[in-house]
Amino acid sequence: MSSKPIIQLANVSVVFGQQTAIDHLSLAVYPHEILVLVGESGGGKTTILRTISGLVKPISGQISVNGLPLNKENLRHIRLNMGYVLQQISLFPNMTIKQNLTLLPEIKHQAKKPTDQIIKELMAAAKLPLDYLSKYPSELSGGEQQRVGIIRAFGTRPALILMDEPFSALDPVSREQLQDLTLAIHAHFNNTILFITHDMNEALKMGQRIGVVKDGQVLQLSTPDEIVRHPNNAYVKTLFNGSEAHQTQNVYLRRLVLAGYGQSTPFQGLEITTIAGDQTLGTTYQILAENHQLAVKQQDQVIGYLNADSVLRFLAARAKKDDAKHT
């Protein structure tokens, strides 16, 4: 991870009337990572994001984005180099999809041909037909409109994307599809994403790091595996108690690798099946039963290898841990 943050908050406080929304917060977001802020409603997550985008002014502290102080002089430049995906899709209803997608590149005076090529690539990744470019937002479903919103955010290839509860209004199937789309586009463009959610399962899937927010403070900031296995306090533990990480078949494969159950080089004599690190353990049983090993990838990099013995050792450890809880 780069040592120079793309977002830096130092001792930032925000107050609305008599209520403190952010309380002396220091936070660093590093290039190319997905940092998820998670917590209950009213904890300050969205206020943090709005403060970073310049929509809320802190009463104290310093903020820098892409190495620039967040002030009146730099605000327009900083915003033009951010992408936004919000719960409210906010497409311009009187513009075609193509006009919605090309508006910001035109404002930034980006060349038309490369912009059109990127839009075509993103439309393909989002599984949207190119003839949708001539349609208006009202002609698309809510899920399709949100896909366009994601394409718009990534279309100018900004260094930073802010995503505020972007999928919370969607049905579970559409939500999972758009999570996968975001992860795939992030892996391709290698942007930095600050992602806000109140869904613990979504946080575990999307985040390379997770910050647990309560009362305007970050109570714990760590990897998904570390937060689930070693919560800092009772609140963090309670927050993740109902998450899919506690259901064995729904544990993400990257967690097994990060916890040391696999190895960094391939196992000898076993056919290799490559699989994404955010695939769940339950989807791999048949592959392992056919005597394959799993090459687990994260951001287009193989982070480790798992075989049937790796999984059995993990399951045995989980069973032992569960037995201890009930004795």
CA distance readout (Å), 249 to 82, 104, 109, 184, 318: 37, 43, 49, 23, 11
Query: Hey, is 32 helix, strand or coil?
Result: coil
**Locate tokens 């479903």: which residue?**
141
- What is the Cα–Cα distance from 281 to 277, expressed in whole angstroms? 10
What pLDDT score was predicted for residue 19? 92
Roughly what angle, to the nearest 10 degrees, separates helices 97-107 and 112-125?
A: 140
> Quick one: pLDDT at residue 321?
66
Q: Got the DSSP string for 130-180?
A: GGGGGS-GGGS-HHHHHHHHHHHHHHT--SEEEEESTTTTS-HHHHHHHHH
Pairing of strands 217-222, 68-69: unpaired
What's the chain's average pLDDT?
A: 89
Instruction: Name the segment(s) of the chain with CATH classification 3.90.1280.
Output: 249-325
Give me the residue label for tokens 């967690």. Answer: 255
**Given pLDDT bands bounded at 50, 70 and 90, which one contains residue 195?**
very high
Q: What is the dihedral of CA 193, 198, 200, 203, to 10 degrees?
A: 0
Ranges for all domains in the chain classified under CATH 3.40.50.300: 7-246
Once rounded to an integer, what is the mean pLDDT over residues 183-188?
A: 86
Average pLDDT over residues 46-68: 95
Q: If we measure between CA atoms, which residue out of 187, 152, 147, 163 comes closest to residue 278? A: 187
How confident is the model at residue 327, as a pLDDT?
Answer: 56
Least confident of 206-215, 292-301, 314-323: 314-323
Structure tokens at 246: 């506690």
In this structure, the number of other CB atoms found within 10 A of the CB of residue 302 comes to 17
Q: Would you state the pLDDT for residue 200?
A: 87
Regarding predicted confidence, which is higher, 170 or 284? 284
Question: Residue 118: its pLDDT value, please?
Answer: 92
CATH level 2 (architecture), domain 7-246: 3-Layer(aba) Sandwich (3.40)
- Which helix (H) or strand (E) segment holds residue 59: the answer is none
| Banded pLDDT at 16 (limits 50, 70, 90) | very high
CA distance 209 to 266: 27
Tell me if 20 sits within 8 A of 47, measured CB to CB: no
Q: What is the mean pLDDT of residues 287-296?
A: 93
72-96 average pLDDT score: 89
What is the Cα Rg of the chain in Å? 21
**170: pLDDT strictly greater than 70:** yes
The pairing of strands 60-65 and 271-276 is unpaired
CATH level 2 (architecture), domain 249-325: Alpha-Beta Complex (3.90)
Read off the pTM: 0.76
Least confident of 61-65, 82-86, 241-245: 241-245
- Average pLDDT of span 160-164: 95
Q: What pLDDT sits at residue 306?
A: 96
Tell me what pLDDT residue 171 has: 81
pLDDT of 198 higher than 70? yes
Q: Which of 315, 121, 85 is nearest to 206 (CA)?
A: 85
CB 174 within 8 A of CB 167: yes
Quick check: 167 pLDDT over 90? Answer: no
Strand-pair partners of 272 = 293
